[in-house]
Structure 1
Amino acid sequence: MHRSASRLTRVLACAAVPVILTVAGCSSDSGKDSAAKDGDKKSGSAAPSKPGEKSKPELEKAAFATLPDPCKAVQAATIDTLVPEAKDKNGTATKSNDLASRASCSWNGLDEDGLKGSQYRWLSLSYFRNDSHASLGSANKRAEEQYKKQTETAKTSEGAQNVKAEEAGGLGDQATSVVYTVKKDVDFFNTSIVARTQNVVVTLDYNGAAYEGAGAPDQAKLLQDALAAAKEAVAAVEAANKQPAEQQPQTPAPQ
C-alpha cells in the first residue's frame, strides 16, 4: 500500500511538471508580448509626431469660362462711327492657338473726302482670359497682373509722345485710358483702353491720322469713342458667359 501511494505520488509529480512548464511558458510568452506591446507603445509615444499640415485653401473658380467673339463684341453701328469706310466691317480676327484664353480682332479704313483730304482710323480689340492655377495663383489675381502689364505696355509704346494715363471709371473692376501721339509720316493720335472684368483683361486700341491736308483728329473725341466701344467690349464678356434662360434651373412653384 505504501509502495502504491509512493508510486502514485511520483506519477502525479511527473504529470504535474508539464502543466507547470506550460503555465510558466504561457506566463513567459505573455510577459514578452506584454513587454513588446509596452515597448511598441513607448516607441510610438517617443517617435516625433509630425505637425498637422494645414490644407491649402482651394483656389476660387474663374468667374468667366469663355470669351466672346471679338469681331462681334462691338456693335456694327459703333464700328461705323469709329472706322468709317472700314475695309471689312466684320473685322479681321487674329489667329490664336487657344481661343478660350486669347482672342482679338481689328478694323481699319480710309475715309476720303476729295479736296478736304482723308481720315484714317484703326481699331483693335483683344481679350486675355486667366484661369486659377495652383502655382500661379487665382484667376483674378493673375488677371490683375496682366492688367498692370498691359497698362505699362500702352504707356511705353515705341515712339509715344505726350503720354497721359488716367483711371477710367465704369469699366469692369478697374480700367485705365492712355493717350499719346506718335510721329510717322503724319501725326498718329492714339488711345488705349485697358480694363479688367474679373479674370478677363480687355485691351482696346484706337488711333487716327489725317492725310492730304485734312484736319488732325480730335484726340478728345477719339478717347470718347474708344471708351464707348470699350464698354461694349466689357459687357460682351458677361453676356458670353450667361446661362441661356432655358438652361437655368427653374424654381419650383409653391405647393
Structure 2
Amino acid sequence: PTCVLMMNGQPVDGFMGAQPESQLRAFLDKHVPSAEELQAEEQEEEALDALAEGDTEGALEKLQHAVATDPANDDARFDYVKLLLQLGREDDAKVAFAPVIAKAEVSRRLGALKAWMDALDFVASSAHGAGAGAEFDAKIAANKRDFETRFARARWLMAQQRWQEAMDELLEILMRDKAWNDDAARKAYVAVLEIIEPPKVKVADGQIPPEDPVVASYRRRLSSVVLS
C-alpha cells in the first residue's frame, strides 16, 4: 500500500508499504501541527486583529503568549519583537530576540529586526542625538559621496522609525555605488522594507492579497536602481 499526504491539493510526502507504529507517528509528527503550534498560530492571528483595532497592549500580551507556547514560531516572534521595538522597549526586544539571533543571517525577517536593533545600538554608542541631522546634512552637502555619513544618517533615521526618509538616504548611496561596503546600503534598505510591510490581509482562496502602496513603490525604486 502507498500512503500520500496531500496539502492544498498537492502531494507533499508519502511512503510505500506497511510501517511500524513508531514510523507512522514520526511521519505524522513531521507534518501535522502540534496543539502548541496551532494555539500559537491562533494567538498570533488574534494579536494582529487586536493591533488592527488599536489594542496594542492586548496584541503584545497575545504575541508574548504565542512565543511562549511555541518558541519555534518565528513569525510570532518577529511580530512580538517588532512591536516591542515600536513601543521603545529595546531591552525587552533584545531578550525576546536572543533565542533566534543565530537565525538572523539566514532569515530575511529576523535579519531585518537585527538591522533595526543594530541601528539603535549605533545611535546610542555614537551619541547621535536629535540635533545630529544638521551635522549629517553639512557633511553631505560638502561631499555627496560621503557614504559613511549617508549610511550613518540612514541608521539614525531608522532608530527614529523614520522609515521612508531612511530608504531615501540609502537610495542616494545605491544610485552612486550599488555594492558599497559589501552591499550594506542595499541590505539595510531591504531590512526596512521587511519592517514596514504590514501583515497580509485575509482574502478568499485563490486571490492575491493587495500590496501596500508604500512598500510597492520603494520596491520598484530599489529594482530600478539595482537593475540599471
For the criterion TM > 0.5, the same-fold answer is no
Please tell me whether Structure 1 or Structure 2 has the larger radius of gyration of its CA atoms: 1
Q: What is the TM-score of this pair, normalised by structure 2?
A: 0.22
- TM-score, structure 1 normalization: 0.20
Higher-strand-fraction structure: 1
Greater relative contact order (Cα < 8 A, sep 6+): 1
